[in-house]
Amino acid sequence: MQLKRNTLQKSIVLKTVHDMKCHASADEVYDVIKKIYPNISRATVYRNLNELTKNNEIKKIEVPEGADRFDHRCFDHYHIRCIKCGKIFDIEMEYIKDLEKTIRNPQGFEFIGHDIMFKGTCPTCK
Amino acid sequence: MQLKRNTLQKSIVLKTVHDMKCHASADEVYDVIKKIYPNISRATVYRNLNELTKNNEIKKIEVPEGADRFDHRCFDHYHIRCIKCGKIFDIEMEYIKDLEKTIRNPQGFEFIGHDIMFKGTCPTCK
DNA sequence: TTACCTGCAAAGTCTTTGCACTCTT
DNA sequence: AAGAGTGCAAAGACTTTGCAGGTAA
């Protein structure tokens, strides 16, 4: 499915995620956009972030401990979450394509993929 | 830290998680308890689940897509989440103790551990 | 006795949704 | 013109918290 229409709001959301170059939450994206486009609605930001994720133009990182993050890098990669500041960082590690194949699977699950989330302390918080 | 006091509520919460032998959410635990102990408060269930987690008597599985789950098995292990029914299942796979050691770590993170969450379809939903 | 725990209700965080209006196509 | 997208406010899902009263040690 493609974006059906090109609205100003959609392109601003995409551009903002790309420009931020970090793992921003929907609200952080919203706050940045609001400064240059004060009438945008939070709901519109959420809707567009989700649609851009579906279309693979950005990547959603789902974080159990808090708000989901949005990443301008679309390829699969792993993350670490700092337990002190809560920020998400990229991990420099090859994506393990075949991880699913190493699993004993007597029940017969159909695997689609996996995420690895490391926990730790970032250099700033250490 | 240990449980400081043994209250009826605490022991019921622990017993219920053990007896359920599944990856129940806090609300599912609450619903079961409510049948036999109708006056218990949801807040008490949440508080006790969190305290039991801290004390390593149960294990909290943090799920980005929904409510956290509580597991009676305390050792580290991985899970799969069915994208259709949302249920969590155990994965029969060795915990990779040394995963953190394989990471290029020029920024100098301090690693504490990791979680792997597989995605897929369970036998029932397939 | 006293500090911890409980029940209750309210609030908090993050996200989605219903609705009427607007704008792309 | 049609219907997809928007802004707004409300609601929804999940969880935590403040407070007054209750209870284990």
Q: Examine the pLDDT at B3 and tell me if it is beyond 60.
A: no
> Can you tell me the distance from the alpha carbon of A119 to that of B100, in angstroms, rounded to the nearest whole number?
10
pLDDT in tens, B19-30: 999 999 999 999
Binary contact (A117, B121; C-beta < 8 A): no
Selected residues 40-69 of chain A with any CB under 8 Å from a CB in chain B: 62-65, 68
Nucleotides of C under 7 A from a protein CB: 4-10, 13-18, 23-25
Contacts of B32 (CB under 8 A, 6+ apart): B16, B20, B24
Q: Examine the pLDDT at A30 and tell me if it is beyond 50.
A: yes
pLDDT number for residue B66: 86
The verdict on A32 touching B (C-beta cutoff 8 Å) is: no
pLDDT in tens, B92-124: 899 999 999 989 887 899 999 999 999 999 999
Q: How far is CA B121 from the centre of its chain?
A: 20
Question: Which chain B residues are within 8 Å of A105, Cβ to Cβ?
Answer: 92
Instruction: State pTM to two decimals.
Output: 0.86
CB A115 within 8 A of CB B81: no
* Beta-sheet strands, E only, within B46-107: 59-61, 69-71, 79-82, 88-90
Of A103, A108, A120, the CB nearest to B111: A120
Q: Examine the pLDDT at B126 and tell me if it is beyond 80.
A: no
pLDDT number for residue B86: 85
Question: Higher confidence at residue A5 or residue B11?
Answer: B11
State the average pLDDT over residues A34-46.
95
The verdict on B120 touching A (C-beta cutoff 8 Å) is: yes
Binary contact (B93, A112; C-beta < 8 A): no
Q: Which nucleotide is nearest to A67 (CA to C1')?
A: C14
Residue bearing tokens 């708000």: A67
State the average pLDDT over residues A97-118.
90
State the average pLDDT over residues B21-49.
96
Helix (H) or strand (E) segment spanning residue A112 = strand A110-121
